[in-house]
Amino acid sequence: MRIAVIGAGITGVTTAYALARRGHAVSVYERRRYAGMLTSYANGGQFSVSNSEVWNTWPNVVKGMKWMLRKDAPLLIHPSPSLAKYKWIAEFLLNTINGTYERHTIETIRLGLRSRELYFQIAEEEGIAFDLTRKGILHVYKDEFYFKAALRANASIYKQTGVGRTVLDPAGVKAIEPRLEADGVIGGIHTPEDATGDIHKFCVGLADVLASKYGVSFHYEAEAPDLAALTREHDAVAICAGVESAALSRQAGDPLNIYPVKGYSITIEADPDTIPQVSLLDDEAKIVSCKLGSRFRVAGTAELAGIDYDIPHARVQPLVNWVRRNFPSMSTEHVEPWAGLRPMTPSMLPVVRRSRNPKVYFNTGHGHLGWTLSAATAELIADEIESTAQAAP
Ligand SMILES: Cc1cc2nc3c(=O)[nH]c(=O)nc-3n(C[C@H](O)[C@H](O)[C@H](O)COP(=O)(O)OP(=O)(O)OC[C@H]3O[C@@H](n4cnc5c(N)ncnc54)[C@H](O)[C@@H]3O)c2cc1C
C-alpha cells in the first residue's frame, strides 16, 4: 500500500518504520528541515515505564490549583481565556471523577514495556547510536507524603504488571548514585530496567535508515498537502503531527482533544566526573535528569499556555537551581535551555486508531511519554492500517 505519514517526530519515524518493514511504500511529510526537531528534540530522555502514572488524580488537581499562584511552580495554568484549554481541563476532570487512573496507568505500563523491548531491538538491528544508557531510573524522595504515595503505587499497580522496583533507604540511594547530594533524602525507588537516550539522535538515525535501507521518501521543509489531496494519492494517511494533530483531526472530520502542555529542559556540557550515571526522577519537584554521553539533561514543568515556544528565564531557573542543589560540584556556566510542547490528551492515553475518515489514521497524543510509548503504538497503528485500509487496484 502507499501510505503517507505526517510528521517526523518520534511517533512519525517509528510509524514509518513499522509500515516500511512490512513492505509498504511510505512517504513522510515534515515541516522542519530534519527529523526530531520539535517536541522530539531535547526532552527528558527517559524510557520511563516506571513513571507511567497518569495525572488524573484528586491530589494532582489540588496541587495544580495551589501552584497556579506561584511563578516557579512545576505546573502552571495561564489564566488567559481559551476554549480549547477549558475544554481540555473539563475532560481531564471528568477522567478524574470517573476514576480512570488505575486502568489508564496499567494500560500505559503495558505499552511502555512492549515499546522498550522494541526500541532495543531497533537500535541493535539498525545500528542506531543515541547515547542509550541502561542503568535504570532512580526515584528520589525528600518528602514523606510523596514517598508514601509512590510506595502505594508500587504495591498496587507496578506489582500487577511485573515492573521491577527496589525500595531504598537513604544509604541505598547514595550507593546507587554517589554523585547526588543526598542531604534530606528519606528514601528512593530504583527501577533497574528503565533506560534513557537522546530522542533527537534516535529520530535522525532512524530517518536515515528508513531512507537508505527501506526506500522511504522524506519530504522535509514541506507542509503536508491537505488531507483531501493526500487521501487521493495514498491508500492511507497516518497523522503523527504532535500538537498540530488537533488541527489536522478537524480536517479529517474527527476532532481530537489534544492540548499543548509546555515543558522545559536544560542541557549542560559538563565535566564527566560530575555527571550522575543513573537517571533521576524527583517526584516532588517533577524534574527528571539523565546522562547523554558527555551531556547532562534536566527536564520538567508543565504549563498550559497554548502554542507558545518562548523560554522565560523564570521557568528555566528552577531547573538550574535543582542542578546546583543536587550536584553542587557541577558547573552551570554553560546551560542550553529548550522548550517543547507535549501533545497531551485529557485521559493521558495516546490516540491510536482509524479516524471517521476511513483513509485517515491517528497515532498521536502521547503527552509526557511519547519517547517511552511510540515504538509500541507504531506497531499498533500499522496493524490497524493493514487490517482495515484498502489498497487501490
Ligand atoms: C520537557 C519535556 C520532557 C519530556 N520528557 C520525556 C521523557 O523523559 N520521556 C518520554 O517518554 N517523553 C517525554 N516527553 C514527551 C515526548 O517528548 C513527546 O511525547 C514526543 O516527543 C512527541 O512526539 P510527536 O512525534 O508526537 O511530536 P513531535 O516531536 O512534535 O513531532 C511532530 C512533527 O510533526 C511535524 N508537523 C506537524 N504538522 C505538520 C504538517 N502539517 N506538515 C508537516 N509536518 C508537520 C512537526 O514539525 C513535528 O516535527 C517530554 C516532553 C517535554 C516537553
- Our answer on whether the CB atom of 35 is closer than 6 Å to any ligand 1 atom is no
Nearest-angstrom CA–CA distance, 246 and 248: 6
Ligand 1 mean position, distance from CA 54 (Å) = 18
**H/E stretch holding 217:** strand 217-220
Q: Which three cell numbers stand for residue 15?
A: 510509524
Q: Are 336 and 270 in contact (CB under 8 A)?
A: no
DSSP 277-302: SSEEEETTTTEEEEEETTEEEEEEEE
Q: What is the mean pLDDT of residues 7-21?
A: 98
Ligand 1 mean position, distance from CA 51 (Å) = 18
Cβ partners under 8 Å of residue 179, min gap 6? 274, 275, 276, 277, 327, 329
Q: What is the mean pLDDT of residues 149-157?
A: 82
- Our answer on whether the CB atom of 13 is closer than 6 Å to any ligand 1 atom is no
- Our answer on whether the CB atom of 263 is closer than 6 Å to any ligand 1 atom is yes
According to DSSP, the β-strands at 295-304 and 259-269 are: antiparallel
Nearest-angstrom CA–CA distance, 244 and 289: 27
In this prediction, residue 373 carries a pLDDT of: 98
- Our answer on whether the CB atom of 260 is closer than 6 Å to any ligand 1 atom is no
Which ligand 1 atom lies nearest to the CA of residue 241? 34
E-strand ranges in 86-175 read: 137-141, 166-168
Long-range Cβ contact pairs of 244-247 (< 8 A, separation 24 or more): 244/7, 245/7, 245/343, 245/351, 245/362, 245/364, 245/365, 246/84
CATH class of 2-388: alpha beta
Ligand 1 mean position, distance from CA 184 (Å) = 35
Nearest-angstrom CA–CA distance, 263 and 344: 12
Taking the model in full, what pTM does it have? 0.96
Instruction: Indicate if the pLDDT at residue 290 is higher than 90.
Output: yes
Q: Which three cell numbers stand for residue 169?
A: 533507604
In this prediction, residue 69 carries a pLDDT of: 66
- Our answer on whether the CB atom of 52 is closer than 6 Å to any ligand 1 atom is no
- Our answer on whether the CB atom of 370 is closer than 6 Å to any ligand 1 atom is yes
Q: Which three cell numbers stand for residue 146?
A: 510523596
- Our answer on whether the CB atom of 299 is closer than 6 Å to any ligand 1 atom is yes
Q: Which three cell numbers stand for residue 93?
A: 476532570
pLDDT tens-place string over residues 267-285: 999 999 999 999 999 988 8
- Our answer on whether the CB atom of 27 is closer than 6 Å to any ligand 1 atom is no
Residue 346 has phi, psi (to 5 degrees) of: -70, -20
Ligand 1 mean position, distance from CA 371 (Å) = 8
In three-state secondary structure terms, 259 is strand
In this prediction, residue 73 carries a pLDDT of: 74
Instruction: Indicate if the pLDDT at residue 321 is higher than 70.
Output: yes
- Our answer on whether the CB atom of 366 is closer than 6 Å to any ligand 1 atom is yes
Instruction: Indicate if the pLDDT at residue 49 is higher than 80.
Output: yes
- Our answer on whether the CB atom of 368 is closer than 6 Å to any ligand 1 atom is yes
- Our answer on whether the CB atom of 74 is closer than 6 Å to any ligand 1 atom is no
pLDDT tens-place string over residues 171-202: 999 999 999 998 899 999 999 999 999 999 99
- Our answer on whether the CB atom of 340 is closer than 6 Å to any ligand 1 atom is yes
Percent of the chain with pLDDT over 90: 83
Instruction: Provide the residue ranges of all domains of the chain, joining segments of one domain with +.
Output: 2-388
Q: Is 31 left (phi over 0), alpha (psi -120 to 50) or beta?
A: alpha
Higher-confidence residue: 35 or 75? Answer: 35
Ligand 1 mean position, distance from CA 242 (Å) = 5
Ligand 1 mean position, distance from CA 237 (Å) = 18
Instruction: Indicate if the pLDDT at residue 358 is higher than 70.
Output: yes
User: Among 17, 342, 363, which residue has the most ligand 1 atoms within 8 Å of its CB, making it the best to mutate?
Assistant: 342
Taking CA atoms only, the protein residue closest to ligand 1 atom 27 is 242
In this prediction, residue 175 carries a pLDDT of: 96
Give the chain's mean pLDDT: 94
Q: What is the mean pLDDT of residues 195-221?
A: 98
Ligand 1 mean position, distance from CA 40 (Å) = 4
The packing angle between helices 101-126 and 199-213, to 10°, is: 50
Nearest-angstrom CA–CA distance, 346 and 88: 6
Q: What is the mean pLDDT of residues 86-107?
A: 93
Ligand 1 mean position, distance from CA 341 (Å) = 7
